[in-house]
A and B are shown apart, each in its own frame.
Chain A
Amino acid sequence: MALRTEPFVINFGPLHPSTHGVFRLRATLDGEVVTELEPVFGYLHRGIEKLAEGYTYKQSICLTDRLDYVAAMSNNLAYVLAVEKLAGIAVPERAEYLRVILAELQRIVSHLVAVGAFVNDCGAFQTPILYMFREREKILDLFEMACGQRLTYNYMRFGGLSQDVPEEFIPALRKFVDQMPGYIDEYDQLIAGNEIFLARARGVGILSREMAINNSASGPVLRASGVAWDIRKADPYSIYPRFEFDIPTGTAGDCYDRYWVRIKEMRQSVRIIKQAMEQLPQGPVTTRVSLNLKPPAGEAYAHVEAPKGDLGFYLVSDGTDKPYRWHVRAPSLLNLTALRDMCIGWKVADVIIIFGSIDITMGEVDR
């Protein structure tokens, strides 16, 4: 007499302690093994692209802060680069250097949050994430000093920044940059050699090279699968060609490699900030731009290496002060399309870990 079995459909619902934001996963289980997975998103849709068609170009900078709310400076930078390409505005030297410093600091912040949340999903009872949030607090203090807010900065403008950084910014930044490599070593000591963590993360959720390229993955997810593709080196923007830095690449494409690539990128960001601080010139940081910017009719696309991947803005202008079409190429959404292939065959506990290692923010996925 055969035992009657049936597959078990479980819903990791929109409200869940470890889906990063409101995100729903419908999983079909056979015991503990996942046989089918269907992601459902759209719970955070706010209509940003449509809203931006009703605002002027300068007012849309506030909207870009709220796309990927963990790394708002990169969003600002990408949008501002797109409009400068469209309208042909030049940027002074000091503003370029400060933009690079802010973008790299933002990369460190985003990777701290990503790695902390990932290790938290592995089960380490919030100890590593609290250590990483201490470093994040230091960087957020610097941002607050420069622009007045901690999360939605609204700091970059067309042709530079909105105002110069205060004079206590550079000494505090120097102190931070001296201390940060020591703290990254502390994280390595706590997490990287831990056998339980290695057993959980090594070899789990492998994304092969071909699958990553076919699914348009970008950012650390792509680099961990073995493809050395970084927008800062492949299609340089701003003044990145003047700095020397490496691009860490993984080999296996599993969760451990994605974690390791992010830690290495943090070290490279510290290196870039040190070089930028030495070369920082004096001078103006703003350009006079008319209040009602009316760029000539045409289209422009600018992309940057955001911490989550390849963030691009596509703008179409028809000559008036409001854009005709305003579109965001969100890296989190495109990285998410590979989730089903990565998760099939693994267990329930692994699905959470794989999802955490891709590192998405629902603000970008749903816009």
Chain B
Amino acid sequence: MTEFNWGHFGLFAVLILVSVLTVVMGFIWFERRALARMQIRLGPNRTGPFGLLQPVADVLKVLIKEDIVPAQADKIVHWLAPIVALVPALMIFAVVPFQDGGLLADLNIGLLYVLAVSSVSTLGIFMAGWASNNKYTIIAAMRDVAAVVSYEIPLALSLVGVILVAGTMSMNGIVQEQNNVPLIFWQPLGFFIFFISGLAEINRTPFDLLEADSEIIAGFHTEYSGMKFALFYLMEYAETLALSALVATFFLGGWQGFLLPGWLWLLLKIVLVFFVIMWIRATLPRVRIDQMMSLAWKFLFPLALLNMVITGIEVVAWPDALPWVLIPVNIVIAAGLIILMSRNHKTGWGRVEV
């Protein structure tokens, strides 16, 4: 047993908390400004120069609001739900490498830890929906549980390809393996499946049926106000940040890069992935729940299985193959499979005879 290094843990815990909260507030500002420019309007520009203090104003506003709990609600569950939802999102950052060796705990099963921890926040969302004693929130909570459980499987299976190519489950090890070519070129299909499943897990457009403004008012956080609502809001952005960080680490090369320090490269890659997520939010409408389920089970799941099999064959048969031979082959296989599956895919039922 190695010596328990309190100093290292303490430093990194504080660092992670501070940096995650700061970057989340930066993301809130960035999303509001860029989304507004895509919609031919200006974003916030009155609070501070360029509206940079807008998230601070939001935090202040939310802190001074009254905390309303519905009369018939389950008080303990209502109080616990935001905490259970937020903490796992923060725990993912314990294994994201900011620098070569710069992470809280260099577990050699880092990837498995990430998958295990990220599923717990669903429980928090369901608790919130159930404890509010409101028909709309129950619908939202049921939808969420069904959707997240379905999308866990393609998410995990797409990462098996990453493990096979990199040869290790440790996050730092995966990044170190990408010093020549980022894994997105080795695993284009895996990236595609991971990205879409990740979007569904964090309930962002086009899969944001949970907080569908036009259908069930505000979904699972209808009955929340004040700081508890702020925790849910924070959870949404912290999970988006976590997804961006995971995509940047697994597929884009983490802290690898020339000239600039490692953590700066990681930040740039995270911002790029976040921009794409936000761009998707600005453009696409949302899907219906049964279409979402059929997408997971009938489209992504077979693709993930095929990806695993093909990657396994490649790793075993040609372990020392040259990159510029295998990468175009992979891309062609990925494109062909996606088009083939799209042709045969039918989404959901239609009208049900009542």
Contact = CB atoms under 8 A, between A and B. Distances in A.
Chains A and B touch each other in the complex, with CB atoms below 8 Å apart: yes
Interface of A: 8, 10, 16-18, 30, 32-33, 35, 119-127, 130-131, 134, 190, 194, 196-197, 199-200, 203-204, 344-350, 352
Nearest to A133: B40
Contacts of B217: 16-17
A17 B213 contact: yes
A17 B40 contact: no
A344 B290 CA distance: 17
Given A18-B215, A127-B283, A130-B40, A347 B289 contact: yes
A63 to B, nearest CB: 32
Nearest to B213: A17
Interface stretch (B73-81, B296-304, B346-354): B346-354
B352 A345 contact: yes
A130 B289 CA distance: 26
17 contacts: A10-B139, A17-B217, A18-B215, A30-B354, A122-B285, A123-B205, A124-B284, A125-B281, A194-B284, A200-B291, A203-B350, A346-B351, A347-B290, A349-B209, A349-B215, A349-B288, A349-B289
A122 B283 CA distance: 12
Nearest to B350: A203
A319 B353 CA distance: 57
Give chain B's interface secondary structure class.
Answer: loop
Residue of A30, A122, A199, A349 ringed by the most chain B CB atoms within 10 A? A349
Contacts of A346: 351-352
A10 B209 contact: no
Contacts of A120: 214
B214 A344 contact: no
A75 to B, nearest CB: 28
Interface residues of B, number: 35
A168 to B, nearest CB: 25
Contacts of A190: 283
In the complex, the 3 A-B pairs of residues with the closest C-beta atoms, listed nearest first: A123-B286, A18-B214, A122-B285
A36 to B, nearest CB: 8
A199 B287 contact: yes
A196 B206 contact: yes
Nearest to A120: B214
Contacts of B38: 127
A190 B209 CA distance: 21
Nearest to A350: B288
Nearest to A343: B351
Residue of A30, A35, A346 ringed by the most chain B CB atoms within 10 A? A346
Nearest to B282: A127
B263 interface: no
Contacts of A194: 284-285
B287 A196 contact: yes
Given A16-B217, A130-B39, A119 B354 contact: no
Interface in B16-38: 35, 38
B41 interface: yes
B136 interface: yes
Contacts of A121: 214
A199 B294 CA distance: 12
B283 A32 contact: no
Contacts of B351: 345-346
A33 B139 CA distance: 12
B284 A196 contact: yes
Contacts of A119: 285
B306 interface: no
A125 B211 CA distance: 12
Contacts of B239: none
A353 to B, nearest CB: 9
Contact of A196 (B135, B285, B350): B285
B39 A123 contact: no
Contact of B215 (A8, A130, A348): A348
Contacts of B13: none
Nearest to B136: A10
A344 B289 CA distance: 17
B260 to A, nearest CB: 34
Contacts of A8: 135
A33 B354 contact: yes
A200 B214 contact: no
Nearest to B290: A347
A203 B289 CA distance: 16
Contacts of B286: 122-124, 196
A130 B37 CA distance: 11
B223 interface: no
B39 A127 contact: yes
Residue of A10, A194, A348 ringed by the most chain B CB atoms within 10 A? A348
B287 to A, nearest CB: 6
B208 interface: yes
Contacts of B39: 126-127, 130-131
Given A124-B286, A127-B39, 6 more contacts: A33-B352, A122-B285, A196-B287, A200-B291, A348-B139, A349-B289
B212 interface: yes
B139 A124 contact: no
Contacts of B35: 125
A125 B136 CA distance: 20
A352 B288 contact: no
A16 B214 CA distance: 8
Given A16-B217, A17-B214, A127-B39, A347 B288 contact: yes
B38 to A, nearest CB: 7
A122 B139 CA distance: 18
Interface in B213-251: 213-217
Nearest to B212: A123
A155 B135 CA distance: 47
Contacts of B214: 17-18, 120-121, 123, 352
Given A130-B41, A196-B287, A349 B212 contact: yes
A317 B150 CA distance: 67
Contacts of B208: 123
Contacts of B284: 124, 194, 196
Nearest to A15: B217
A10 B217 CA distance: 13
Contacts of A33: 352, 354
B145 to A, nearest CB: 13
B285 to A, nearest CB: 4
Contacts of B352: 33, 345-346
Nearest to B143: A32
A120 B212 CA distance: 11
